[in-house]
Structure 1
Amino acid sequence: MNRFVAPLLAVGMGVLAACTPTPPVSQPTRAAPMDSSLPAMRTFGTPIRMPLTRSNMSITQDFLDLAFKMESGRALPVFTRFEGPITVRVAGQYNDQMVSDLLKLTRRMQTEAGVNIFVNNAPNAAITVEAVPRSELNRVVPGAACFVVPRVSGWQEFLAMRRTPAVDWATVTTREKATVFVPSDVAPQEIRDCLHEELAQAIGPLNDLYRLSDSIFNDDNMHAVLTSFDMLVLRAFYSPELRSGMSRQQVAEVLPGLLARLNPAGERGTASRTSSTSRDWIDLMEYALSSSNGLAQRQQVSERAINLTRAFGWNDIREGFANFVYGRLNVTNNPQAAYAAFLAADHAYRADPGARVQRAHVAVQLAAYTLSHGRDQETLAIANEAIPIATAYENASLLATLMMFKAEALENLGYRGEAQQVRLDSLGWARYGFGSEQNIRTRLQEVERLDPS
């Protein structure tokens, strides 16, 4: 479940750069002249708990597939977790914001998931969170933005052991030690997103499932922070009914009663009939998402993935994601086809009540298209619908970009004072979502240059 560097999926929109040349960074924008200072960085407060959308019968199958398989499809022989309190320390080139986000995350794990985890910075802590320059991470694990490794307590120990069975999760029977590696020199949100995904994997599921709309345990990277579903999974992981070493059958026998206790509302539904995701489709998506492959080949492969979803009858978020990827890959050479794909993705995502954040990601693409075609009322409507979703799911880079679109539409419709205020508000979120001033101003320029006016 390593979070990969995938420009196609980054909220930093390749679609904008693809639609129009990127101006020099030194060029001022009407939103924020280069000699002005940016507002203070904004961060999110108390998380909004989203209602669970599936029955306990469905969650039982999800839990088993998450806990007893690797992403590669390789089966794990036994259930594993940390037994006893989980201590955490930070190391490497970390900063205050990273520590603040880590403390907020561990508090959520304590209160929402009941996990006995806390930061104490003891040298012998069970989990080390080490911040390493991105270039160094990519040199050792190409393409990975962040990842977690068992049985090591830091970067140097990992380098010494990385080609040995010691760092193979399939050989673990009880978790005792692990290290989460995050990039030290990227935007605060990217570090936070890595903390959520990789710390959750360090203590919980080792697999991702493309069928999960309301979970960070999904390789589509749409969710930035742990969801209510993820917290339920972690609460079940650390419930007294389970222990390290249990077989899949033993866990399956315990889960119905366990979930009934933890999530009584989930007893009212029935199991959804979602088929497993074929390895062929996963391979196609991985090829299409890899920037190391040629664009023409990636476009063809993404179209094959769409056709495969239709052949399997997957009228769910997998259909949405395949169309989303196809649209992103074709936005330059065939914008009409890309727009149609984004509409198809939006339609697929709207059918799933758990796929709200996915719709917000698609909204960025739709707003880019409508703004570039002078359809300001549509742009405003798209942004207004998606902004509360981006806020609820704590995605600052997505939120800031949508607000920039809204500001452009308002400006064109004659609401200049409101437009300027929305732009100003977007910059505080952009500080957290995009990091450097250069990145923020480049984003503003990209959005503005889409505007035909």
Structure 2
Amino acid sequence: MLTEPVPADTKPQTRPERPAVPEPPQADTPSARALDLSAYYARVQEDLLARGLLRVDGGGIDTPFTDQMLARNFERIALAEEYTRGAGLQPSSGALGEIKKWGIPVRVEVIFGDSLSAEDQAQDLQTLGTYTRRLSAVSGHPISMVSSQANFHVLVMGEDDKDQLRAALDRIAPGMEASSRAIFLNLPRPIHCLVVAFAESNSSSAYRQAVALVRSEHPDLSRRACYHEELAQGLGLANDDPNARPSIFNDDEEFALLTSHDELLLKILYNPRLTPGMSADQARPIVRTLAIDLTGGGPS
């Protein structure tokens, strides 16, 4: 808040007989910063929808893709990374790395900040329950919602939940790198949501834990889009690529929700023939064979 100097012609006000006692602020009253972010993200969503983006149809006859396109997109999305590991939000070189995935059951816990209404919390729990069941069915990997002993934590918090966010990070990820923790606590406005996945060790590509942050200031569809993207990225589809279509792993925001193409990416990733740590050269012939099998060798 800016404090301006008092104008020179301002006169002293008459002092009341009894000092007015200010009412304590209501705990459920959003701060000016939170209100500003809510208004901003509402405008962003309205603009995207007005331009025909944030589609929820999953792709159709206007978005065909071939087995070759699917295999290429898998390489760019599953084998490259969006950011350099341990370097905050510094973009990666784009080089292909290793297969990264979970080898243990994924147990998803949702932690809501007080800034999200009880009604929205109930709605989002239902959304996430349906979505985790879909992810499990598509990937063939055990993925479920739990209330304890979670290893995939989804934090739904906003500007007014910073104390809760710090406490949650202290509890679930005490060993998180300082650079990653700083991003969680001071998320730049252009970053709508994010996820960080942790491997079993520095030399491993087998995930054992993940923490996602979704801003509570988002309107419903944008919050749902964040759930779809961050959970899928936390499973191992870690990168975005401008040529992937129809896909949520594309910064053009054409699609809000996991598409039929993205489901095939998950099917490929969690095929038992692909194992954590497998290089791009080792994975490539397997991926090509799976892509042909999944598309029938023609446009999908």
**TM-score normalised by the chain length of structure 2:** 0.64
Larger helix proportion, structure 1 or 2?
A: 1
Give the count of matched residue pairs: 219
Deviation at 1:203, TM superposition (A): 0.3
Report the equivalent of 1:210: 242
Say if 2:285 is the partner of 1:253: yes
Structure 1 residues 246 and 223: alpha-carbon distance in aligned structure 2, compared to 1, 3 A threshold: same
Alignment of 1:139-288 (within 5 A): 140-143=186-189, 144-151=191-198, 173-261=205-293, 263-265=294-296, 267-268=297-298
Deviation at 1:138, TM superposition (A): 7.8
Deviation at 1:58, TM superposition (A): 1.7
Residue of structure 1 aligned with 2:45, choices 11, 17, 34: 11
> What is the SS of the residue equivalent to 1:13?
helix
Q: Are the equivalent residues in 2 in contact too, given 1:134–1:145 (CA < 8 A)?
A: no
Say if 2:159 is the partner of 1:127: no
Letter in 1 for 2:188: P
Deviation at 1:213, TM superposition (A): 2.7
Residue of structure 2 aligned with 1:98, choices 99, 112, 124: 124
Distance between the aligned counterparts of 1:171 and 1:8, measured in 2?
A: 42
Distance between the aligned counterparts of 2:49 and 2:122, measured in 1?
A: 33
Distance between the aligned counterparts of 1:14 and 1:237, measured in 2?
A: 30
Letter in 2 for 1:132: M
Say if 2:78 is the partner of 1:67: yes
Larger strand proportion, structure 1 or 2?
A: 2
Structure 1 residues 10 and 68: alpha-carbon distance in aligned structure 2, compared to 1, 3 A threshold: same
For structure 1, the 5+ residue unaligned runs are 17-43, 153-165, 270-353, 355-453
For structure 2, the 5+ residue unaligned runs are 1-36, 51-55, 83-90, 163-182
Structure 1 residues 105 and 8: alpha-carbon distance in aligned structure 2, compared to 1, 3 A threshold: closer
Structure 1 residues 244 and 221: alpha-carbon distance in aligned structure 2, compared to 1, 3 A threshold: same
Q: Are the equivalent residues in 2 in contact too, given 1:115–1:234 (CA < 8 A)?
A: no
Distance between the aligned counterparts of 1:226 and 1:97, measured in 2?
A: 18
Q: Are the equivalent residues in 1 in contact too, given 2:204–2:277 (CA < 8 A)?
A: no
> What is the SS of the residue equivalent to 1:176?
strand
Structure 1 residues 134 and 220: alpha-carbon distance in aligned structure 2, compared to 1, 3 A threshold: farther
Deviation at 1:86, TM superposition (A): 1.2
Aligned-residue RMSD, C-alpha: 3.3
**TM-score normalised by the chain length of structure 1:** 0.43
Q: Are the equivalent residues in 1 in contact too, given 2:65–2:245 (CA < 8 A)?
A: no
Q: Are the equivalent residues in 1 in contact too, given 2:268–2:291 (CA < 8 A)?
A: yes
